[in-house]
Each structure stands twice: as structure tokens, then as C-alpha cells.
């Protein structure tokens, strides 16, 4: 996908999900033409994908399809089988079809945040509940909503999406854009999206993305171990990515803390806005130098972005509680399948993070029921 710049940019989560059903049904549960028009937009976009996809069997039999594409498709199918059999992820018919994306990316996510707070604006819809981002199939529509939120005083950020989950409402295909990822990243993406189809709590965006990101990363490592490990070059590339990802996450966490201190401080709003420009610039330069020291070419597109609160919360949604997930993983003896099984019991949970913290506080290794 031409617009994909980092692994983080590749993950869309359930950006449209059940909204697509609302679009197809023409739900009038929300007043206002803008909402009805949006539901129609996502429904129409998904219909195009449903009608335009081919079975993977047909693609694999097609003599005109390059072997490099077939090899990637087989890897996706193997990763799917591994996730279901070894990680306890929900079986589905996802990734049994293939969709050629003619005009990448697949979709776009819009994130918004108040100018003096590090918090994602939540869009609420029938069926889907509230989400910390809003998905679009057309950039111009995302830009119109972005401009509308800016006029209301919010920071906004539009992020290209290379994969997403419809949470079981539709058969998610393998998108051609996904096949451009290196093998380890591709497996992470597939497992990430499979987690969304297995563990998803309404209105808990940070929880949903946090668990999907963590299980995707750890699951990919387990997948390649089961196949004898990565090649030497793949191992080096994975190590480079892990170091770059760690640096990026550390930079984002530090940046968020500095901005929270600024926003809580006394002073005029104009002065705070001026000061935050410098804070963003310092964080970006620090990341640039750190990546150069690591010899990493990752995140180059991110460095070219205009950073603001919405940009920041867009990434924190995926990575803010990385330490919490690692601790939970340890509490299950680093058995990912056991951890997934426990989290699958969370349906309807109103405070999932609190429940996880409660388990960790007991430190007795007992699984809750």
C-alpha cells in the first residue's frame, strides 16, 4: 500500500465493523442527515469489497497470479490456522477471499482530540457503540469531517488503513495491500484482526486495540517459532522493527506526559498552544535522531506528519498499556492461549482494565470466572 508508512499505520481495528450493517439496512436510529449519509457511505464501500473479492482457492489456481502473491496468501492462511488452533482465536471464514485494492489505501481513520487534553473524541453509533476513531472509504469524506471537527475546536488526524475487521458481520478478505508487508508484519496484522473478531468490548477502544496489538505481536513470534524460526535476515529485520517500535512508543508516552503537564498548568491558552509547538518539535527531533542511531528507516512517514493531540492519541490507543499486557502475559506463565481464553470471558465487562489490574494485584495465578 503506497500510503502505508509504518506497522502502526497498517492496523485499522474495527473501524467500520457493525456500522456496515447499519449502512446496508439504512438504519434511521440516529437523527441527522450527516449520520445517515455516513452509514450509507460505509455500507456502499463494504458492498464494493464484498462483490469484488475472489475466493483464495480461485486465486491460488489462477496461472496469471504471480507466485509471490500466492506465497503471501498461503502465509496468511497458515497464520489464520495457527491463530485458531494454537492461540484460541475464534474460527471464522475470514481471509478465505482476496480483494485487489485498485486505489490504496483500503480506508482511512479519523481521530480527534481536544486541543488541551490527551483524549480521543468518541463517535457513537447504533449497533457499534462508541469508537475512538471514525472510518471512511474515501479520503475526501474524512477530510470534510476533519474540517468540521477542527471548526469545533478539536485537533484532528487522518491515518491510512491497510486492514480492518468487521467483527464477524462480513467475511473479511485478504487485501492486496496487506501482501506488501514483510512476512512477520503480515502475520502480526492477521492475528491482530483475528483478535478483534474474538475479543471486543463495546465502548472500550483502548482495551480492544491494546489486546489485539499485544496478541498480534506475541502470536507472530510463536507462529514463526513453530515453523523453525525466522531466517537470519528476517530476524534482523524483526529486531530492527522491535527496537524502532520501542523507541517510538517511549517517545509517544514521554510526549503525552509532557503535554499533560503543560495542559494542567496555569496560563493563557495561546501561550500553551505556542509552547506545545516546541514540545512536539523536540519530540519529533528526538525520535528522528534515535531512529538514525538504530539504523532504522521506519517511521519516516510519521516524521513528515504534522503532530498534534489527535496524532498522539491515535497511536496511544494501540500502545499506551504495553506494560500491563506484558504483566498479564507473565501471570499466565507466558501462555498466550490461556491469556486469550481468560479475556474471552470479558463479554459485557464495563471495566476490563480494572479487572486485569485486580488479577495482577492478587498475583496468585488464579483465573477468574
- The CA dihedral of 194, 74, 299, 251, to the nearest 10 degrees, is 40
- Mean pLDDT, all residues of the chain: 87
What's the pLDDT at 162? 85
Q: What is the CA radius of gyration of the chain?
A: 20
Nine-digit cell at 344? 474471552
Residue 368, domain member (yes or no): no
Average pLDDT over residues 82-87: 98
Res. 79: pLDDT tops 60: yes
**pLDDT at position 33, please?**
46
**269: confidence class by pLDDT, cuts 50, 70, 90:** very high
Higher pLDDT, 130 or 72: 72
Q: State the alpha helices, DSSP H only, in the chain.
A: 7-10, 19-25, 33-52, 56-61, 67-86, 139-151, 183-196, 205-226, 232-264, 269-294, 300-303, 309-319, 322-331, 336-343, 352-362
pLDDT higher than threshold 50 for residue 34: yes
- Indicate the range of 82-96, 107-121, 159-173, 349-363 predicted with least confidence: 159-173
Q: Rounded to whole angstroms, how far apart are CA atoms 132 and 143?
A: 17
Contacts of 343 (CB under 8 A, 6+ apart): 199, 211
Nearest to 48 by CA among 113, 99, 120, 121: 99
Please answer whether residues 253 and 320 qualify as being in contact, where contact means their C-beta atoms are separated by less than 8 angstroms.
yes
Model pTM score: 0.84
More confident residue, 367 or 159: 159
Total domains in the chain come to 1
286 inside domain: yes
pLDDT at site 29: 38
Q: Is the pLDDT of residue 6 over 50?
A: no
Centre a 10 Å sphere on the Cβ of residue 94 and count the other Cβ atoms it contains.
21
Look at residue 366 and tell me if it is in a domain. Answer: no
Gap between the Cα atoms of 132 and 113, Å rounded: 9
47, pLDDT greater than 60: yes
Region for residue 155 given its phi and psi (left: phi exceeds 0; alpha: psi -120 to 50; beta: otherwise): beta
Tell me what pLDDT residue 14 has.
54
| Reported confidence tier of residue 4, pLDDT bands at 50, 70, 90 | very low
Indicate left, alpha or beta for 350 from its phi (over 0: left) and psi (-120 to 50: alpha). alpha
Identify the weakest region by mean pLDDT among 10-14, 79-83, 250-254, 332-336.
10-14
Does residue 367 form part of some domain?
no
Say if residues 72 and 186 touch (Cβ distance below 8 Å).
yes
CA distance 72 to 178: 9
DSSP H stretches of helix in 178-319: 183-196, 205-226, 232-264, 269-294, 300-303, 309-319
Q: Is the separation of the CB atoms in 42 and 19 below 8 Å?
A: yes
**pLDDT tens track for 338-355:** 999 999 999 999 999 999
Average pLDDT on 241-257 reads 92
Rounded Cα gap, residues 39 and 26, in angstroms? 7
Among 89-93, 143-147, 228-232, 332-336, which is the least confidently predicted range?
228-232
Confidence tier at 364 by pLDDT (50, 70, 90): low
Give the tens place of pLDDT for each residue, 159-217.
998 888 888 888 999 999 999 998 999 999 999 999 999 999 988 888 998 999 999 99
Rounded average pLDDT over 265-288: 96
Domain containing 118 equals 1-361
Contact indicator for 104, 1 with CB cutoff of 8 Å:
yes
Amino acid at each position: 500500500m503506497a500510503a502505508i508508512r509504518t506497522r502502526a499505520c497498517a492496523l485499522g481495528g474495527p473501524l467500520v465493523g457493525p456500522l456496515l450493517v447499519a449502512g446496508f439496512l439504512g438504519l434511521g436510529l440516529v437523527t441527522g442527515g450527516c449520520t445517515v449519509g455516513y452509514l450509507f457511505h460505509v455500507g456502499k464501500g463494504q458492498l464494493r469489497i464484498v462483490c469484488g473479492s475472489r475466493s483464495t482457492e480461485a486465486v491460488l489456481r489462477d496461472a496469471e497470479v504471480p507466485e509471490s502473491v500466492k506465497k503471501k496468501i498461503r502465509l496468511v492462511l497458515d497464520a489464520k490456522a495457527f491463530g485458531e488452533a494454537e492461540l484460541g482465536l475464534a474460527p471464522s471464514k475470514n481471509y478465505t477471499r482476496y480483494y485487489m485494492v485498485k486505489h490504496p489505501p483500503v480506508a482511512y481513520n479519523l481521530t480527534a482530540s481536544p486541543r488541551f487534553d490527551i483524549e480521543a473524541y468518541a463517535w457513537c453509533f447504533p449497533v457499534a457503540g462508541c469508537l475512538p476513531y471514525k472510518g471512511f472509504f474515501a479520503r475526501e469524506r474524512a477530510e470534510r469531517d476533519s474540517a468540521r471537527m477542527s471548526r469545533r475546536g478539536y485537533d484532528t488526524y487522518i491515518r491510512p488503513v491497510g486492514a480492518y475487521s468487521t467483527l464477524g458481520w462480513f467475511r473479511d478478505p485478504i487485501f492486496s495491500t496487506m501482501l506488501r508487508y514483510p512476512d512477520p508484519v503480515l502475520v502480526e496484522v492477521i492475528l491482530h484482526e483475528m483478535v478483534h473478531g474474538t475479543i471486543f468490548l463495546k465502548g472500550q477502544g483502548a482495551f480492544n486495540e491494546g489486546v489485539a496489538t499485544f496478541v498480534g505481536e506475541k502470536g507472530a513470534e510463536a507462529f514463526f517459532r513453530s515453523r523453525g524460526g525466522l531466517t537470519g535476515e528476517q530476524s534482523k529485520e524483526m529486531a530492527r522493527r522491535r527496537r524502532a517500535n520501542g523507541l517510538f512508543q517511549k517517545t509517544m508516552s514521554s510526549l503525552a506526559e509532557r503535554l499533560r503537564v503543560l495542559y494542567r498548568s496555569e496560563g493563557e491558552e495561546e501561550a500553551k498552544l505556542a509552547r506545545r509547538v516546541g514540545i512536539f518539535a523536540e519530540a519529533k527531533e528526538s525520535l528522528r535522531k534515535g531512529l538514525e542511531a538504530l539504523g532504522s528507516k521506519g517511521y519516516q512517514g510519521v516524521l513528515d506528519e504534522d503532530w498534534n493531540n489527535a496524532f498522539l492519541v491515535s497511536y496511544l490507543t494501540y500502545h499506551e498499556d504495553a506494560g500491563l499486557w506484558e504483566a498479564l502475559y507473565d501471570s499466565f506463565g507466558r501462555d498466550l492461549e490461556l491469556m486469550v481464553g481468560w479475556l474471552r470471558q470479558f463479554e459485557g465487562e464495563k471495566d476490563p482494565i480494572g479487572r486485569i489490574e485486580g488479577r495482577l494485584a492478587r498475583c496468585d495465578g488464579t483465573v477468574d470466572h
